[in-house]
């Protein structure tokens, strides 16, 4: 089965969060499950630099009359065939894929990402005489217009199924409707039965409305987004489409996240040879200037610093963590007030708190390897990958019971310890009292060395690879192509 994946990010080339981890791992997992997968990407600088053996597939003109080239080539770092939109004026700029250096969204984002969908629909329509996708699978609002363009394309020779995966409903790609006419879609696309959303145009809604099928990244989040509280105004539409909506849990890319052969770690380890983990912890403490104490529970956070991630709760439980002899390392960037608050706490207590503002893939690996607990107290979390990286690296996750966190972490309650199903710490109310109780459970278990080791072993042995998700996606693709 030929599958075209469409996204704005792909690990290890362009990454702002978990989306890239998913789009970087899914193609290989689908191929292992028997698919022939290619990707379509915007021509960001790292993508162009990684693209080899390229040929020009087509010289095209955007719906707003800008000429560009569509290349097809081989992404060296992913060993993957890719179509890449080569239009430097749109994609080669300082900043993130979405924002300039001043953290302002690019004013022409609606064009930059509409084009991704437009090209995807041309490929669905047979643009490449040598390769016809049977499924076009787009990810998040950046690629969401794919399904709208496909829905308005003339009838195809072959049926091509459109699937849209929501990684985070909170980022919806909302733009002023005056830009609609530039996008080359039929006027009916901008109606309530389409991508119109409270007088704006919503790329997210286009994906949700026009796709043959919608998936999201955990079973629980698939239910949560159908509620008023977590639906961001899309819950009505999602309830209407409930029969074409499923949650498929993300996996962990075990080539990238594997403590037995992680190039970021000096001391490899696994569940059966855990000694390397203690060395990783001691080295991390030393490197960060923390007191080098093997018996001080070390808590870690690797996160975007946004309201979603619930990190104000960490600030409110920090005194208790320290009073009980714990330590904290945080790696993250984002909200200026959160950055300042964590920096301030580290300055006041450098032996116990270490804060690194920035983005550092290598350091992230060292944190999962060297810590005892990974904190993910998110207000909402579609899937969450860091709690799974914590499990793989024996850093037990402490999470809020929501979305994919609830689907992956089982609290160390007495009954789940006895059942041998516990793998972390879970709090059920999104407040400091509830979180602090989970922190106390973590300390209580940490004091019982044998039990702690048993839970770590279980966590590290859990099967979290991409094969399960890939099989579910392939089953879905097959059903849609019948």
The residues of the shown chain that bind ligand GLC, judged by CB under 6 A, are: 17-19, 22, 167-168, 217, 250, 381-385, 404
* Six-digit token string for 24: 């970087």
Q: How far is the CB of 366 from ligand ADP (least distance, A)?
A: 11
Q: Is the dihedral of CA 250, 251, 252, 253 positive or negative?
A: negative
The yes or no reply on residue 297 touching ligand ADP (CB under 6 A) is: no
- The Cα–Cα gap between 87 and 74 comes to 18
**Does 333 interact with ligand ADP (rule: CB under 6 A)?**
yes
Q: Tell me the three-class secondary structure of the chain, residue by residue.
A: CEEEEECCCECCCECCCHHHHHHHHHHHHHHHCCCEEEEEEECCHHHHHHEEEEEEEEEEECCCCCEEEEEEEEECCCCEEEEEEECHHHHCCCCCCCECCCCCECCCHHHHHHHHHHHHHHHHCCCCCCCCCCEEEEECHHHCHHHHHHHCCCCCCCCCEEEEEECCCCCCCEECHHHHHHHCCCHHHHCCCCCEECCEEEHHHHHHHHCCEEEECCHHHHHHCCCCCCCCCCHHHHHHCHHHEEECCCCCCCCCCCCCCCCCCCCCCCCCCCHHHHHHHHHHHHHHCCCCCCCCCEEEEEEEECHHHCHHHHHHHHHHHHHCCCEEEEEEEECHHHHHHHHHHHHHCCCCEEEEECCCHHHHHHHHHHCCEEEECCCCCCCCCHHHHHHHCCCEEEEECCHHHHHHCCECCHHHHHCCCCCEEEECCCCHHHHHHHHHHHHHHHCCHHHHHHHHHHHHHCCCCCHHHHHHHHHHHHHHHC
- Contact with ligand ADP (CB under 6 A) among 7, 285, 303, 374: 303
Tokens of 57: 């597939």
Binding mask 20-49 for ligand ADP (x = CB under 6 A): -x----------------------------
Q: Using CB distances below 5 to 8 A depending on partner kind, what does residue 386 bind out of ligand GLC, ligand ADP, none?
A: ligand ADP
Cβ distance 49 to 96 under 8 Å?
A: no
Q: How far is the CB of 431 from ligand ADP (least distance, A)?
A: 21
- Cβ-based burial of 176 (10 A; exposed 0-12, middle 13-18, buried ≥19): exposed
Q: Using CB distances below 5 to 8 A depending on partner kind, what does residue 109 bind out of ligand ADP, ligand GLC, none?
A: none
For ligand GLC, the closer of residues 405 and 474 by Cβ is: 405
CB of 306 to ligand GLC, least distance (A): 9
Residue 201 interacts with, from ligand ADP, ligand GLC, none (CB under 5-8 Å by kind): none
With CB atoms as reference, the residue minimizing the distance to ligand GLC is 18
Residue of closest CB approach to ligand ADP: 18
Given the complex with ligand ADP, which of 210 and 466 has the nearer CB atom?
A: 466
Minimal distance in Å, beta carbon 212 to ligand ADP?
Answer: 25
Taking the least distance from each CB to ligand GLC, the nearer of 82 and 402 is 402
Residues 341-380 that bind ligand ADP (CB under 6 A): 359-361, 364
Task: Write out the two tokens for 347.
Answer: 């300055």
In terms of CB distance, is 125 or 384 closer to ligand GLC? 384
Q: Minimum CB separation from ligand GLC for residue 215, in Å? A: 10
- Among ligand ADP, ligand GLC, none, the one that 331 touches (CB under a kind-dependent 5 to 8 A) is ligand ADP
Q: Which does 360 bind (CB under 5 to 8 A by kind): ligand GLC, ligand ADP, none?
A: ligand ADP
The one of ligand ADP, ligand GLC, none whose footprint includes residue 217, by CB under 5 to 8 A per kind, is ligand GLC
Residue 97 φ/ψ, nearest 5 degrees: -60, -20
Whole-number minimum distance, CB 140 to ligand GLC, in Å? 8
For ligand GLC, which is the closer residue by CB, 70 or 169? 169
State both tokens at 446.
Answer: 């940490």
Residues near ligand ADP (CB under 6 A), total: 18
C-alpha span between 15 and 403 (Å, rounded):
22
265 binds ligand ADP, rule: CB under 6 A: no
User: What, of ligand ADP, ligand GLC, none, does residue 396 touch, CB below 5 to 8 Å by kind?
Assistant: none
Residue span 376-415 as binding mask against ligand ADP, x where in contact by CB under 6 A, dash where not: -------xxxx-----------------------------
Spatial neighbors of 193 by CB under 8 A, at least 6 apart, are 209
359 binds, options ligand ADP, ligand GLC, none, Cβ within 5 to 8 A by partner type: ligand ADP
In the bound state with ligand ADP, the residue whose beta carbon lies nearer, of 196 and 372, is: 372
**Binding segment for ligand ADP among 14-22, 106-114, 121-129, 440-448 (CB under 6 A)?**
14-22
Least Cβ distance, residue 106 to ligand GLC (angstroms)? 19
- If the CB atoms of residues 85 and 353 are measured against ligand ADP, the closer one turns out to be 353
| Least separation in angstroms between CB 22 and ligand GLC | 5
Q: Counting contacts by CB under 6 A, is residue 331 touching ligand ADP?
A: yes
Residues at the contact surface with ligand ADP, assessed by CB under 6 A: 17-19, 21, 302-304, 331-333, 359-361, 364, 383-386
């Amino acid at each position: 089965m030929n599958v075209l994946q469409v996204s704005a990010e792909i690990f290890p080339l362009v990454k702002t969060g978990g989306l890239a981890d998913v789009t970087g791992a899914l193609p290989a997992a689908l191929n292992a499950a028997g698919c022939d997968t290619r990707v379509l990407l915007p021509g960001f600088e790292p993508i162009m630099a990684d693209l080899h053996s390229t040929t020009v597939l087509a010289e095209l003109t955007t719906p707003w009359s800008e000429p560009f080239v569509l290349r097809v080539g081989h992404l060296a770092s992913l060993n993957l065939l890719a179509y890449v939109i080569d239009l430097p004026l749109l994609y080669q700029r300082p900043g993130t894929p979405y924002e300039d250096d001043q953290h302002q969204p690019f004013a022409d984002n609606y064009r930059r990402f509409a084009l991704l969908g437009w090209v995807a629909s041309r490929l669905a329509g047979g643009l490449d005489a040598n390769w016809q996708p049977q499924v076009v699978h787009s990810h998040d609002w950046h690629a969401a217009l794919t399904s709208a363009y496909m829905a308005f394309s003339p009838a195809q020779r072959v049926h091509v199924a459109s699937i849209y995966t929501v990684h985070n409903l909170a980022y919806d790609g909302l733009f002023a409707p005056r830009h609609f006419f530039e996008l080359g879609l039929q006027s009916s696309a901008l109606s309530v039965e389409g991508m119109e959303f409270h007088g704006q145009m919503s790329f997210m809604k286009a994906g949700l409305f026009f796709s043959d099928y919608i998936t999201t990244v955990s079973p629980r989040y698939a239910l949560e987004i159908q509620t008023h509280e977590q639906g961001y105004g899309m819950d009505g539409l999602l309830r209407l489409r409930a029969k074409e909506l499923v949650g498929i849990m993300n996996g962990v890319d075990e080539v990238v996240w594997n403590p037995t052969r992680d190039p970021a770690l000096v001391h490899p380890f696994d569940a059966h040879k855990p000694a390397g983990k203690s060395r990783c912890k001691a080295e991390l403490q030393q490197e960060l200037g923390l007191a080098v104490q093997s018996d001080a529970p070390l808590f870690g956070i690797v996160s975007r610093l946004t309201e979603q991630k619930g990190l104000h709760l960490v600030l409110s439980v920090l005194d208790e963590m320290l009073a009980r002899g714990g330590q904290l390392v945080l790696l993250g960037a984002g909200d200026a007030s959160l950055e300042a608050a964590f920096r301030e706490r580290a300055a006041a207590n450098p032996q116990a708190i270490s804060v690194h503002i920035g983005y550092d893939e290598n350091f992230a690996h060292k944190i999962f390897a060297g810590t005892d607990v990974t904190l993910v107290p998110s207000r909402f979390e579609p899937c969450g990958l860091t709690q799974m990286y914590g499990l793989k690296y024996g850093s037990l996750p402490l999470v809020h019971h929501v979305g994919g966190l609830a689907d992956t972490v089982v609290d160390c309650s007495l009954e789940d310890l006895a059942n041998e199903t516990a793998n972390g710490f879970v709090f059920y109310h999104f407040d400091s009292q509830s979180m602090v109780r989970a922190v106390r459970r973590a300390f209580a278990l940490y004091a019982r060395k044998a039990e702690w080791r048993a839970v770590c072993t279980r966590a590290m042995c859990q099967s979290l690879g991409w094969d399960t998700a890939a099989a579910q996606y392939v089953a879905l693709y097959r059903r849609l192509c019948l």
